[in-house]
Amino acid sequence: MIILDSEARLFTLQTRNTTYQMKVDEKGVLLHTYYGAKLQGGDLSRLIRFADRGFSPNPSQVGNDRTYSLDTLPQEYACAGTGDFRLPALELELADGSHAAELRYVEAKACRGKYTLEGLPAFFASPEEADTLAITLEDAAAHIRVELLYGVFEACDLITRAVRIRNCGQEPVRLRRAASLCLDFPGAELDFVTFDGGHVKERGLNRAPLRPGIQSVGSVRGISSHQHNPFVMLCEPSAGEEHGLCYGAALVYSGNFEAAAEREQFETARLTLGIHPFHFCWTLEAGEAFTTPEAALICSPNGFGQMSRQFHQAVRSHLLRDVWHSRRKPVLVNSWEAFYFDYDHQRLLRFAREAAALGVELFVLDDGWFGHRDNDSTSLGDWWVHPKKLPEGLGALSREINALGMEFGLWIEPEMVSEDSELYRAHPDWVLNPPGRPYTRGRCQLVLDYTRPEVRTYIFSSLQKVLDDAHVSFLKWDMNRALAQVWSAGLPADRQGEVYHRYVLGVYDLLERMRQANPHTLIEGCSGGGGRFDMGMLYYTPQIWCSDNTDAIDRLRIQYGTSFAYPPATMGAHVSAVPNEQTGRSVPLETRGVVALSGTFGYEMDMGALSQQEKDVVAKQIADYKESYDLIQTGDYYRLTPPSPDGAPTAWLHVSADQRTALLCLVSGQVHAAQPFRYLKLRGLDPRLQYRITGEDLSWPGDVLMQAGYPLPMLGEYQSLRLWLKAE
């Protein structure tokens, strides 16, 4: 709900559990007054204090009033160059070379429904599910108008923000920084929580108190990256899973980003989130506008768990455009870890028969099916069938797969090109690289220039011919290197600062074309696993391969960190063979299944190499997947214990909306002598109900399970439990 008081110039956004408020002061500055637990109303600008602060300058319109300074006020969208020395949201370079910007209020409008962003992913809603507030600010001297867009999803506690910047003058203006989110806090006693790591160790939780100065994470790799995720939190130092005030902020974007938090001299804090300013310079000609990516905000007065569940609900209901939303997703097997590049038609068919006999429903053919690709140094860009491996074509293979009762899926990497390819030999200028410089390669491949429409059109046409020939139900869209030496032959020298962002827009454009042309094909995102696991990609690819690391024990940490913003329904998670190729660790097949079943379930192994006992386990896992599918895909998710290096078990819980059904999952850690007795306190149950647990004759009161705990059995190393709780 939006409460717009035009006379007082007071704007209040109300969600189910939170209040967000802004007010225009007498100088025309849009101030941020409050964001936190829900309040009944009132003008909260009374909380803002004024004082004479040395070296904090005063705008000319206040005369000799030394108590009024933009350097000390909580602003809704702060600018660089006019007296606020904290993190700016907007930095302009004007035609005269100055970098000053000073925004003042013009008007505000509210309407039913959610705003849209052309060419960019964004949360969506029906007119009954969300409202929009648009506040227009203006720098009269620079002839710049800034429209702040707010989407309010009351049921999800979600507030989205985006910014549209328009040049209303006659001279070009350059954007040097244009953040999507600027949020000021009245106090700086906050922890900054980020999700960091690297390839095969993505999204590990890191938490530290805000120190004086600026702390930031981000990416300048052209993708959101394995190293840092574009989701961060600020929280009270005492906040935990079920208590304390916390704020989660996610950028709905898949390229370079920066999330920065500043603890400033007067013990207040500011958070900014948006496109990274590195190598970003966007020219606005007269009359042109630039739209920032969307930022998504959720405040939880009751800890991380509530925030996560609200994000999960919002993502599932208002971000994912899942073409399979009305059906159960099939159990899949991927060929990569079984064969790598070494296969032919008959070997693939034998593999598919063995998988089908175990109940697998989708066969995904990974790398190596195109050009003359027998290793990873060749043929990217040549999207036609490998004549020696598949002489009868993909259509023939897919028809035989379908005849086994399985659907057919395919791996592609359409953003890349190999130097050993027909495409590169015909169009070397289609590669991102400055003229006269040797290439910087990654995985023996170069990056196609997706800023250019002709490149995207060629790739689309080539891939669509393949998809038209073969009945492809599932596409795995991979991207296996970061961007370097970013320069486009399609843009003049003074526009090269636009390449990173235009590249991302090009990726979105091609993804949307592929979705529209193949409305029944599910696209799974991948970038060496989790290198582009962000809400921007989820808008186009409703599930993403969580990590190239399929080791079940490492996956506990990866999926734990991922769960803070992203629901299990989005996490690509498979059972792979042991010893694991990343860690060399051997974990029981049952445990590998428990971990993978809390994601989009499938297999990465040669099913024909399994023993009969292992095949029986696989058959049970597939049955378990079908039984628990709806609960895992749509239920509430509770993190019970974090992954721990000390041997303590990792536990999580899926709970149905009516609280009558729950599924407890647990994996033990390293075993040491003289183990302690452990009791696990559950969450999310109805304290008034009695629950029957798998394999037990006696029922348990919900309040006992949550307050006293459930006594865990003694488990061996890397053992697992998967227990149903059903209300009587």
The catalytic residue positions are: 534, 614
Per the structure block, which two tokens stand in for 528?
């060496």
Which residue in 157, 313, 154, 242 sits closest to 633, CA to CA? 313
Cis status, amide bond into 579, omega within 30 of 0: yes
Q: Which residue in this structure is represented by tokens 């919002």?
A: 314
Helix ranges (H only) for 470-580 are 499-517, 535-540, 552-562
Give the list of residues 6+ apart from residue 452 with CB closer than 8 angstroms, or none: 430, 488, 490, 506
Based on the number of CB atoms within 10 Å of its own CB, is 305 exposed (0-12), middle (13-18) or buried (19 or more)?
Answer: buried
Among 283, 363, 398, residue whose Cα is nearest residue 602? 363
- Contact of 111 with 75, CB cutoff 8 Å: no
Q: From residue 362, how far is each of 387, 441, 575 by CA, in Å?
A: 24, 34, 15
Amino acid identity of residue 398, one-letter, is S
DSSP structure class, residue 635: S
Phi, psi of 519 (to 5 degrees): -65, -15
Q: Residue 212's CB: how many other CB atoms inside 10 A?
A: 11
Tell me whether strands 18-24 and 710-711 are parallel, antiparallel or unpaired.
unpaired
Q: What amino acid is encoded at 264 in this protein?
A: E
CA dist., res. 579 & res. 576, Å (int): 9
Length of the chain (residues): 728
DSSP three-state, residue 335: coil
- Rounded to whole angstroms, the Cα distance separating 77 from 257 reads 18
The Cβ of residue 384 has, within 10 Å, a number of other Cβ atoms equal to 16
**C-alpha to C-alpha distance for 553 and 650, rounded to whole angstroms:** 10
334: number of CA atoms within 13 Å, CB side?
A: 27
Among residues 367, 366, 358, 369, the alpha carbon closest in space to that of 405 is found at: 358
In this structure, the strands spanning 407-412 and 362-365 are parallel
| Amino acid sitting at position 494 | D
Q: Which two tokens stand for residue 233?
A: 């939190």
* Contact (Cβ atoms closer than 8 angstroms) between residue 257 and residue 273: yes
User: What are 720's two structure tokens?
Assistant: 């697992």
Residue 171, C-beta contacts closer than 8 angstroms, at least 6 positions apart: 94, 95, 143, 286
Which parts of 328-427 are beta strand (E)? 332-334, 362-365, 407-412, 416-417
Amino acid in position 360: V
What HEC string does 116-148 produce?
A: CCCCCCCCCCCCCCCEEEEEEEEECCCCEEEEE
How far, rounded to the nearest angstrom, does the alpha carbon of residue 635 sit from its chain's CA centroid? 19
Residue position matching structure tokens 């030394």: 66
Instruction: Outline where DSSP puts E strands in 498-628.
Output: 522-525, 543-545, 571-576, 600-604
Quote the CA–CA distance of 592 and 571 in Å, as a whole number. 15
SS3 category, 377 = coil
